[in-house]
Chain A
């Protein structure tokens, strides 16, 4: 049902490198899971799709920078794999002409 090309595309979208030897078995597993969930297509849907559970509503916080203590900040920053000075270091993504 799902082709190797589709699987590779999903992997690109998901930012995961797949090992060549895993692709075949992943496709097999995908197909068996999709065949199972495809049974949902038979259901006569009577209510409108509603994407929230129970009485819980979406809550947004105010769009404000909250102050954070130096200790908290240091603990969070300590988890970054690479730092330059006070900043998290990442690779350059914009090329200069």
Chain B
């Protein structure tokens, strides 16, 4: 039978699998066929797994036995920085081109336990450093909606895979917007959970105080289903949180006390810049009107230090990058290039294995952490980080959600920003705050911009206080009008 992938969601696929409309093998085959058709143009997948059909067969057995869960037999893509035992995990870098994961990441084993089918590993900016997937050592991922444009990044392959019907959902990682911005560019939904909500064991670290794993899907409900499957305390990741961690913040959310809809705060003072595309602001304003019509209250909020968030990010993140990347030494795993002595092995290996953006961030991190600059940069950034978090916590005393656009523009052209790193960094202006504060944020499609005769998606970002994913899901579902 022909399966209509376009309209399929996890919920619908689950029902159809349960009813026997199609099998997990047929569903997986349908996705593999679609990938075969489109991936040569889009380059969303770096590799498609031969074993996908085998795991679909296993899923069919579970479904037949009646023990299947919501995700049993659901095909997904996995970002190339997340380990699946026995598969290559390269982080789209030359230095890990042949690295075969010796164990499963916790998110992988949790999805395996659900009977999820892994279709393949998705393309990304090298080590998740970038906002366009142009920094991949294995070629750019193109936007399925306009092949002249980027899919966003760094989880560009994951977002493109979902958008081109090459997976029902995908996992990404988000350090400064790397799930939400590509979701926005590709017209899909992407969630960056609360810091610590999802275990990062077996995920390649970039900025350890910022990184989170999250789902990219076609609907808010689909992201919620995946989030619930992968979240939770993990003994192997000391930063994971449990139900109690943010109990106080969550109990303080106002709308829960009554029947009223959540209140949405808008930081108007932060949205006036001329770096924001007109089409983005139009779609954003329309979204607020829609929320109003659905009974939400819209209120202005002041976040006095929010304009410093991106500067804080570009100090804290490279600092953490420079220490995390020290492990790629050419001795224990990954690429090795031989020099005349031990120390030259490091220099040669890292030169040959690491791309330009990665090198730039390592150097920048080394600079801000070096003696004499440490106080002026790193310590100061951490203090301002605390001030920004306090601003948000204060704002969440009077509103339940804060709305901004996800990105200042729709998908840009391939090559448009590669020569100017700072302009690429400015892409993260709205998304980094959630990583700085550790708060959860989602991007949902909220309209289109007409560029060169193509309709390019625009994303709306909703942020809530720590641990309040529930509030985000509720509003996101009502906004999109989906189940």
Contacts and interface: CB of A to CB of B under 8 A. Distances in A.
Contacts of B331: 80-81, 88, 90
B387 A46 contact: yes
Contacts of A18: 351, 359
Interface in B380-394: 380-384, 386-387, 389-390
A32 B425 CA distance: 11
Contacts of A54: 194-196, 241, 245-246, 389, 437-438, 466
A11 B360 CA distance: 10
A17 B421 CA distance: 21
A10 interface: yes
A76 B239 CA distance: 24
Interface size class of B (residues with CB under 8 A): 35 or more
Interface stretch (B38-46, B276-284, B361-369): B361-369
A58 interface: yes
Given A10-B367, A54-B245, 12 more contacts: A15-B346, A32-B420, A37-B315, A40-B377, A48-B386, A54-B246, A54-B466, A55-B245, A56-B438, A79-B99, A79-B334, A80-B332
A4 interface: no
B422 A55 contact: no
Interface size class of A (residues with CB under 8 A): 35 or more
Interface in A1-25: 2, 7, 10-11, 13-19, 22
B102 to A, nearest CB: 4
Nearest to A39: B311
Interface string B324-340: 00100111111110000
Contact of B386 (A10, A49, A58): A49
Contacts of B329: 15
A59 interface: yes
Contacts of A2: 367
B246 A90 contact: no
A55 B248 CA distance: 11
A16 B315 contact: no
Contact of B381 (A40, A52, A88): A40
A14 B343 CA distance: 11
B345 A50 contact: no
Contacts of A78: 100, 102
B335 A22 contact: no
Contact of B362 (A16, A50, A75, A90): A16
Given A15-B343, A16-B359, A80-B331, A40 B380 contact: yes
Contacts of B342: 90-93
Contacts of A72: 102-103
B447 to A, nearest CB: 30
Q: Kindly list the 5 A-B residue pairs having the minimum CB-CB distance in the complex, ordered from nearest.
A: A59-B238, A81-B336, A75-B102, A79-B333, A15-B346
A53 B195 contact: yes
Contact of B336 (A15, A41, A82): A82
Interface in B232-278: 238-239, 241, 245-246
B218 interface: no
